[in-house]
Chains A and B, each alone.
Chain A
Amino acid sequence: MIGSITPGEMEALRLSLEVASRSVLFSLPIAVLVAWVLTRAHFPGRTVLDAFVHLPLVLPPVAVGYVLLILFGSHGPLGGWLKRHLGIELAFTTAGAALATAVMTFPIMVRAIRIALETVDRGLEAAARTLGAGPLDRFFTITLPLMLPGVLAGAVTAFAAGLGEFGAVITFAANIPGVTRTLPLALYTEMQSPSGDLPAARLATISIVLGLFGLVLSELLARRVRRLLGRR
């Protein structure tokens, strides 16, 4: 057997869950907005925005972490401002790990939400309009509920992917035990140590189980919402 989970590994698991949750909570509203803009709005720079959103999919994660460090480091243009005015520090913090995770999983989320938005029948929005609903009202009472399966699927998939984000996190937030040492970082650390074979195996198993659980949950949720909407 591979033995029992140590407190350090528990900590890594807890941190992974926290980082992934914060990253999803933070990026979900923005992802919905960006998906809406990319699907519905027509403006000259749309293709560029689309490419920009998908950039983390094709860049080396280390490069993303590096860019975040330049922008959000305590001397960076955005990081400096956040520190001075809001007292928020991102580099080498749990929040920073969440930000790096959010950026990396953003394309996955936008993609799922976009597909969901494209399947929303615009005729229903027109009907809501004739019934007196203004733009925001229509969005929250018709469009959003109808695209909910996609939004949920996107969120759960991004969450599952976020549990395992490595390159961007270690570059931007470093590998600090109890602060930014999430599951994959702990796994990596154990693999560097001569006595780390068993802990590494345990951490890898936890990651696999979590990932599977996330994907199955995403599918179940989507099915349930579809049934609720009467489209089996």
Chain B
Amino acid sequence: MLKATLLKRRDGFTLHAQLQAPTPGVVALFGRSGCGKTTLVNLISGLLEPDEGRVELDGTVLTDTRAGISVPVEKRRVGYVFQDARLFPHLSVLANLRYGQKRAAAAAPLIVFDEVIALLGIQSLLERRPHQLSGGERQRVALGRALLSQPTLLLLDEPLAALDAARREEVLPYLEALRDRLSIPMVYVSHQFDEVLRLATHVVLMEAGSVVAQGSPAEVSLLPQLREIIGPEAVGAVLDGRVVKVDATIADLQLGHGALRVSLREARVGSLLRVQVLARDVIIATEPPHGLSVRNALEGTISALTLEQQEAAVLVTVDIGGAAILSRVTTEAVEALGLKPGLKVWALVKAVSTRGHAFHLRTA
């Protein structure tokens, strides 16, 4: 478990955050630029001292201002991947990778050099200098360097923010591989929700220096606080499920009592899949539908209606038994259909509308 309660005042900005996340796993700190994500990460790393607070990782206290404990950064064993990579320009890639490894405690290394090199695909870069690397390569080397310092916690501060879309796609699979193969807890800072969806096992929403909500991606996707950050158009339920059937480009995902058919290449039976179903793509029916092309009609009950005043729209939360779906409908539709909490409805989702929002979580 990673637990942190931190207070820091600086230049008129106050960070007052509390987070608690299961380990190992990827904790995503998500929020707009300037909400205090980097400050929070710096406080956890020890690079910044809190005015008050406590940080505890798997029972080890890293910071406790009341007890006067503050483990020096160099002894914390916290790996840090910075947005700008921060490779040492006067050293080769190999020497950069070895820098932290040499200084790691002599205890049996959990993370082996060859394994990291293979995992990150940086074998051919070892002799080069940092200025001879592309942005994506630089971030992969920075990741390797942090991992080889044998960290008990890995902090990633927007490691993809300085990269263009193609480079991001080049690095993301490596991050997924790290999450799935190494059991190092990670804290991942991002202001891109699609990165969070791909990587996170726990999401912490931040706004103006405070943690406004936290939980699993599925839980957080239903919260109004998330809508405040990503806007109504991007809102949609996040669903984690296991693939139970694959047939051509359609996979059946087990969700609570029902199954969701999603359009997906390369799905394998037994693998875990995460999909986001955008609320604007979901139709609500009060009767079982007939003669429609839509592949998914998930039976459930309305558990909440949230009015979006500026848009004259209503966000409907449908409980489908062990999971929930969001649908965005007009206020007019709510009145015409008599939608209200407790009503039995069918949520209609086109299989193809989930494309591009489906992520492999962990291959079985």
Contact = CB atoms under 8 A, between A and B. Distances in A.
Interface of A: 121, 123-124, 126-134, 137, 141-142, 145-146, 228-231
B90 A228 contact: yes
A184 to B, nearest CB: 38
Contact of B88 (A124, A132, A137): A124
Given A129-B74, A132-B104, A133-B74, A229 B89 contact: yes
Contacts, number: 65
Contacts of A131: 74, 99-100, 103, 145-146, 149
Contact of B84 (A123, A128, A141, A145): A123
Given A123-B84, A130-B80, A131-B145, A146 B74 contact: no
A130 B73 contact: yes
A230 B84 contact: no
Interface residues of B, number: 28
A132 B149 contact: yes
Contacts of A141: 99
A229 B103 contact: no
B90 A129 contact: no
A132 B146 CA distance: 10
Interface stretch (B125-133, B232-240, B286-294, B330-338): B125-133
14 contacts: A123-B84, A124-B88, A126-B73, A128-B99, A130-B74, A130-B76, A131-B146, A132-B75, A132-B103, A134-B74, A146-B89, A230-B130, A230-B132, A231-B131
A231 B89 contact: yes
B45 interface: yes
A157 B45 CA distance: 42
Contacts of A231: 89, 131
Given A133-B103, A230-B89, 5 more contacts: A127-B86, A127-B88, A129-B74, A132-B100, A145-B90
B102 to A, nearest CB: 8
A127 B47 CA distance: 10
Nearest to B75: A132
B246 interface: no
Interface string B62-93: 00000000001111111110101010111000
A130 B85 CA distance: 13
A130 B90 contact: no
B75 A127 contact: no
Contact of A126 (B47, B103, B131): B47
Q: Lowest 9 A-B CB distances belong to which pairs?
A: A230-B131, A132-B103, A131-B100, A130-B80, A127-B86, A129-B73, A145-B90, A131-B149, A229-B89
Contacts of A132: 74-75, 77, 100, 103-104, 149
Contacts of B77: 132
A130 B156 CA distance: 12
Contacts of B79: 130
A211 to B, nearest CB: 30
A123 B45 CA distance: 14
Q: Which of A121, A124, A132 is the most central at the interface, judged by chain B CB atoms within 10 Å of its CB?
A: A132
A130 B99 contact: no
Interface in B137-174: 145-146, 149
A146 B89 CA distance: 8
A199 to B, nearest CB: 47
B144 to A, nearest CB: 12
A128 B89 contact: no
B57 to A, nearest CB: 15
A146 B129 CA distance: 14
Q: Which of A123, A127, A141, A229 is the most central at the interface, judged by chain B CB atoms within 10 Å of its CB?
A: A127
Interface in B1-51: 45, 47
Contacts of B73: 126, 129-130
